[in-house]
Amino acid sequence: MKKLILLLCFIIPVSPAFCQWNAFLTGVGTLMSIRGDVFSDILIQKPPAEEATLKTMQMGTSFGFVFPFPVKHPNWYVNFGLEVSTHNLYSDAVLVPGLVEDTTAPGVLYPGEWMVFKKIPETIGSTPITYTRNKLTYTYLEFPLEVCYKFSKDKSTVHRFKISAGLKTGVLLHAHTKYIGNDIFGTDPTLTIKKKDKEVGTDLKDFTIGPTLRIGYSIISVYAYYSATGLFKKDSGYKMRPLSVGLTLSFF
């Protein structure tokens, strides 16, 4: 998240300059542009209801640079990009090591290799459990490749409808869980704790790929991306696949 904030600090001051640049450009288009997405993840194949209930809105963001290259036809472009995306998964469960039965001692359980969702209890003893934050956050470095068509009879690079489709690959940069609330991990649930755990990153896939679609006018587009590879590694037992739907601002 700190890396994303630093990226925003760089993007915000230079965005007006790019807007002015784009407003005057004609012909083949820009050499480089800035693009940002605000989206919500819809989880396909959710975990069992007895393990976790996911929030409806799972907000995320992405920011980066796009390099549009025109082809022979003036309305067609091929876009290459470099982006950083951050996703959040909110639920009423925490990720904890799953318990595995000892094959040499039936009935004896020990922490296994994979994390599992465990619902946050409503009470522990006579203490009601409340929390203000409980989420899984994961960040990717992404490389989009898109074919874009802009509907226009002239060569203007602004104020026209456009549609693009392509593929996006991503490499996992960082993942962690964050919990703020009554202590459900220790011995005193009356205490309020802030817990951040980075071990969950070993359960997430290191690589992701999926199709993208954008339809818009001028600098605003509707955006969709589907992770064909899924979020968790195969052996974890979870088959969740995020479908990201949102809006894009692109300055070119």
Q: Which residue has the tokens 């934050």?
A: 133
pLDDT value of residue 164: 94
Q: What is the pLDDT of residue 236?
A: 81
Binning pLDDT at 50, 70 and 90, where does residue 105 land? low
Specify the pLDDT at position 151.
84
Q: Look at residue 147 in the predicted model and tell me its pLDDT.
A: 94
The rounded distance, in Å, linking the Cα atoms of 207 and 100 is 27
3, containing H or E segment? helix 2-24
In whole angstroms, give the CA distance from residue 66 to residue 81.
4
**Higher local confidence (pLDDT), 130 or 112:** 130
Full-model pTM: 0.80
Asked if residue 88 lies in contact with residue 74, where contact means CB atoms within 8 angstroms, the answer is no
Encode pLDDT of 34-53 as tens digits.
Answer: 999 999 999 988 998 889 99
- Nearest Cα residue to 249 out of 25, 22, 42: 22
Say how far apart CA 159 and CA 140 lie, in whole Å.
31
223 CB-near residues (< 8 Å, 6+ apart): 37, 39, 212, 213, 214, 244, 245, 246, 247, 248
Mean pLDDT of the chain: 83
CA distance 33 to 171: 22
| Residue 241 burial (CB count, 10 A) | 18
Please say if the pLDDT value at position 168 is more than 80: yes
Task: Please tell me the predicted confidence (pLDDT) of residue 163.
Answer: 94
CA distance 86 to 18: 24
Q: How many CB atoms within 10 Å of residue 94?
A: 23
* Mean pLDDT in residue range 75-93: 94
Q: What is the pLDDT of residues 172-218, one digit of tens each?
A: 999 999 999 999 888 889 999 998 888 887 889 999 999 999 999 98
- Does residue 21 register a pLDDT over 70? no
Phi, psi of 218 (to 5 degrees): 55, -120
C-alpha to C-alpha distance for 11 and 9, rounded to whole angstroms: 6
Q: 23 vs 204, which has greater pLDDT? A: 204
Does the pLDDT value for residue 18 go beyond 90? no
Report pLDDT digits (tens) over 215-246: 999 889 999 999 999 999 888 878 899 999 99
